[in-house]
Structure 1
Amino acid sequence: MTPEKLVRAAEEFIDSGAFFAQLATMVSYATESARPEGRLALEAYLDEVLTPALTHLGCAVTRHENPSPAAGPFLVGRRIEDPALPTVLCYGHADVVEGMAGQWSEDRDPWTLTADGDRWYGRGAADNKGQHLVNLAALRLLLAEQGALGFNLTFLFDPGEEIGSPGLAEFAAAHRELLRADVFLGSDGPRLDETTPTLFLGARGGVQLLLDADLRPGAHHSGNRGGVLRNPATTLAGAIATLVDGHGRILVPELLPPPVGPEVRAALAGVEVEADPYWGEPSLTPAERLYAWNTLEVLALSAGDADRPVGAIPGRARAILQLRHVVGTDAENAAAAVAAHLAAHGYPMIDVSTRGAYPASRTPLDDPWVRWARPVLDRAAGRPVAVLPNIGGGLPNAVFTDVLGLSTLWLPHSYPGCRQHATDEHLPMAVAREGLVLTVGLLHALGNPTQDHPLPVTASYP
């Protein structure tokens, strides 16, 4: 059980305004990884915020050049209390998406944390500065209470998660010893809903596909040539309809995952997800569609000029589609499967190419670390915690499962309505408060194993 004094300290850290003040400083750094000026802010954030925070935890802090020129350096903090103790690898990302200044409600500045009731508004408040602040604060509170963690700590900060974590897999592969650990703990993405504490074990992958019907240079008069000239927009619309129907059901067998397994189905049996009842695979529950199945989404369509249409048949039409997929999907061959399917349905004139991809991954539901963490979190929350096989979105989880071979525990401190990646991003105070209590409970249990609830045995921790 988490000591009552530690729980009170966690709640007081939120209630006193100390958390808000520290988050306000973090939000003030415009660490937009997609913008050149954001790279300078990222460097300052690493130097002026994260390095002192890790040093205060007794970590030796090092910066490492990114193998990719697309993003800045990685920051690693390590605190080794005893080589015989288990090691936890924590992860957070220092970057944010574009601030979208001037578009927020109530004239809010994205780089100024603003309280509105129990909602704290600002870019990065939920994704990811508020979340890694929860974890840093939990570690500080544990040290203040015990004088030691009771485990070894490695904390890795990613400078480019919002642009696909360029260089992260290569960095991890080249620094396996630096990042060696017994278990991974990260906080990103949303919990199931605002009031349900959640543990998830991985992420869906994604493949972005470009469908290009480039039939001829320029447009042609629709009266003079209509009926004898193939329309690329009509062609593309018909082609997409053979891939995914008007109710969101995938029609290409090669783009589907294996059937939902009994363990995943059991884990999702009590999970409620708000959904359109007539959208997606009808044989699945909404939770299974979101967390255990694939979707093929049309992200963009382009032909002619919808704002200023003219009576002409366009020469070219394009669409961007995205396959969100779970573990077990043959995602590497998605473009080839779509191209073959379209050719077989009379659309060989459409070129199909991959614009980007990232893998799906998950830690098994019966993993020893999952079985260890679940009752700890249930006790800390005072109610059952939702355990999801993965979230619907994407994260670099495969770096930790596939490259480093770790069991991954993701404890999110946000919720689906937080408006991340949009204007009015916010973090509810109640979510941060409960998140901090959950995290100190989990870390306290990690550093204070009992005979009744021992830690799992791993290769590096006998």
Structure 2
Amino acid sequence: MIPAQLLYKAEEFVDSGAFFAELAAMVAYPTESARPESGVAVRAYLDEVLTPALAGLGCSVTTYENEDPRGGPFLVGRRVESPGLPTLLCYGHADVVEGQAGRWSEDRDPWTLTADGERWYGRGAADNKGQHLVNLAALRLLLAERGRLGFNLTFLFETGEEIGFPGLAEFAAAHREELRADVVVASDGPRVDAATPTLFLGSRGGVQIQLDADLRPDAYHSGNWGGVLRNPATTLAGAVASVVDGHGRIRVPELLPPELPDVVRQSLTGVTVANSPGDPTPDDGWGDTALTTAERLYAWNTLEVLALGAADIDRPVNAIPGRARAVLQLRYVAGTDVSRVGEVLSEHLAREGYSMVDVTVLGRFAAARTPLDDPWVGWAKSALERVAGRPVTVLPNIGGSLPHSVFTDVLGLPALWLPHSYPGCLQHAPDEHMLAPIAREGLVLATALFHALGDPSPELPLPAHAKDPR
């Protein structure tokens, strides 16, 4: 049983303002991975913030260069208490998206953490500095209380998550022994809603696709040539509609999952989407209406049009454009074969009479999922519910994307995500924020989970395959 005074210290760390002050210092580093000039800030954040934090946990800390020129360095901290103890692998990312200064409400500076009631505004407050601070603080509290963790710890930080985590899979494969563990616990992404403690077990993957109807170099007068020249904008609109219709339904069977497993469907029973104040209302008629809203978001594929254009929409002229383009994104769940997405779409468009539309796959990232019946899932859910005082929602995966496959597919580990944010946090947009109540409860939950790992009890034993010196 976790000591009550330890939970009190977790709450007090937030209530006292100490958490806010530490997060403010982290947010002040403009670690924008999409800007090459921010490399100095990224390295300073690793050297001046994360390295001392890990060293304070008794970790040996090593910085590794990224062999992929698109990505930044990796930081690994390791604390080995005993070879006979289980090993926990934690993960976080030091980078953030662009600050978007000048677009925040109340003229807020993205690099200055600003409190407005329960909302703490700042770039990285939710994604991901506030979230990895929760876990670092929980480990710090546990170590201070007991003088030991009761398990071995490896903490991996990357610096390119927001640009598609370049080089991470290759780094993990090359450092497999250093990253060996029994279980991964990481924090990123949102809870199902602000009020519900959540575990999720994976993420959807994504494939970015460009459709290009490049029919001629010039535009021609719509009166003199309309009706005899193929219009690339009209052609592209028809091509897109043949792939995903005007109600969001995918019309190419090969782009859909082979099934919705019963265990996944059952896990989503009773899960409500958009359950926080200010959330947009899901459209009941959008997508596959045979599925529940939660199933459409967490257990199925969606094909979204991200951009669509021809000529100058703000200053149209009486001419048939020569070219039209669209960028689409397939968000897909584990089990979907996306190895031939480009070929599948080209073959489909040719059958539909749109062979003049070129298909280019611009990029992709993998979907992955820890099995819902993995013993670590039940263990973590029980540990969290003992202190949460209410049910913890377990999602098969979130709708967004994270490098989950690096842990499950490359390292072969069960990976659990304990998010300390919520869907309305506005990450990647102006006014990104962390909610103080989630930070407070998140620190309690993380502390309890780590305590359960380091001090297993007959009521909550570790999974059978984990190391337990007793």
Q: TM-score, normalised by structure 1?
A: 0.99
CA distance in 2, matches of 1:319, 1:226: 23
Overall identity of the aligned pairs, in %: 72
CA distance in 1, matches of 2:351, 2:387: 56
Distance 1:347 1:461, change over 3 A: farther
CA distance in 1, matches of 2:467, 2:176: 13
CA distance in 2, matches of 1:438, 1:240: 45
CA distance in 2, matches of 1:319, 1:249: 17
Partner of 1:199: 199
Distance 1:221 1:460, change over 3 A: farther
**Pairwise mapping of residues 22-421 of structure 1 onto structure 2 (< 5 A)?**
22-274=22-274, 275-421=282-428
1:285-329 Cα shifts (integer Å, max 9, x gaps):
000000000000000011000011000000000000000000111
1:459 positional shift: 7.2
Would you identify which runs of 4 or more consecutive aligned residues in structure 1 move more than 3 Å?
Answer: 457-462
Contact 2:208 2:330 in 1 (8 A): yes
1:6-33 Cα shifts (integer Å, max 9, x gaps):
1100000000000000000000000000
1:8-61 Cα shifts (integer Å, max 9, x gaps):
000000000000000000000000001022111000000000000000000000
CA distance in 1, matches of 2:288, 2:32: 37
1:246 positional shift: 1.0
CA distance in 2, matches of 1:137, 1:188: 16
CA distance in 2, matches of 1:95, 1:21: 19
Q: Which moved more, 1:368-377 or 1:14-23?
A: 368-377
Name the amino acid aligned to 2:269: A
CA distance in 2, matches of 1:149, 1:369: 18
Partner of 2:277: none
CA distance in 2, matches of 1:339, 1:378: 49
1:417-436 Cα shifts (integer Å, max 9, x gaps):
00000000000000100100
1:88 positional shift: 0.4
Contact 2:105 2:431 in 1 (8 A): yes
* Pairing 1:429–2:436 present: yes
Secondary structure at the counterpart of residue 340 of structure 2: helix
Name the amino acid aligned to 1:410: W
Contact 2:462 2:468 in 1 (8 A): no
Distance 1:445 1:308, change over 3 A: same
Q: Structure 1 unaligned segments of length 5 or more: list them.
A: none
CA distance in 2, matches of 1:434, 1:364: 26
CA distance in 1, matches of 2:65, 2:254: 39
1:458 positional shift: 3.2
Name the amino acid aligned to 2:326: A
Secondary structure at the counterpart of residue 326 of structure 2: strand
CA distance in 2, matches of 1:193, 1:134: 18
CA distance in 2, matches of 1:458, 1:409: 16
1:90-140 Cα shifts (integer Å, max 9, x gaps):
000000000001110000000000000110000000000000000000000
Partner of 1:453: 460
Contact 1:88 1:182 in 2 (8 A): yes
CA distance in 2, matches of 1:153, 1:43: 23
1:353 positional shift: 1.0
Contact 1:239 1:342 in 2 (8 A): yes
Contact 1:88 1:181 in 2 (8 A): yes
CA distance in 2, matches of 1:458, 1:398: 21
1:456 positional shift: 1.4
Name the amino acid aligned to 2:292: T
1:460 positional shift: 6.7
1:461 positional shift: 6.6
1:238-295 Cα shifts (integer Å, max 9, x gaps):
0111111111111100000022111111100010113211111011000000000000
Secondary structure at the counterpart of residue 324 of structure 1: strand
CA distance in 2, matches of 1:178, 1:386: 32
CA distance in 2, matches of 1:151, 1:258: 40
1:201-228 Cα shifts (integer Å, max 9, x gaps):
0000000000000001111110110000
CA distance in 1, matches of 2:409, 2:23: 32
Contact 1:150 1:447 in 2 (8 A): yes
CA distance in 2, matches of 1:230, 1:93: 48
CA distance in 1, matches of 2:266, 2:313: 47
Contact 1:182 1:461 in 2 (8 A): no
Name the amino acid aligned to 1:331: V
1:457 positional shift: 3.2
Contact 2:383 2:460 in 1 (8 A): no
CA distance in 1, matches of 2:183, 2:62: 21
Partner of 1:11: 11
1:335 positional shift: 1.4
CA distance in 1, matches of 2:105, 2:13: 28
Secondary structure at the counterpart of residue 331 of structure 1: coil
CA distance in 1, matches of 2:452, 2:265: 29
Contact 1:181 1:460 in 2 (8 A): no
Secondary structure at the counterpart of residue 257 of structure 2: coil
1:381-421 Cα shifts (integer Å, max 9, x gaps):
11000000000000000000000000001000000000000
CA distance in 2, matches of 1:452, 1:387: 21
CA distance in 2, matches of 1:66, 1:187: 23
Secondary structure at the counterpart of residue 359 of structure 2: strand
Give aligned pairs, total. Answer: 462
Q: TM-score, normalised by structure 2?
A: 0.97
CA distance in 1, matches of 2:46, 2:305: 37
1:163-186 Cα shifts (integer Å, max 9, x gaps):
011100000000001100000010
CA distance in 1, matches of 2:244, 2:344: 14
CA distance in 2, matches of 1:434, 1:423: 25
CA distance in 2, matches of 1:415, 1:451: 34
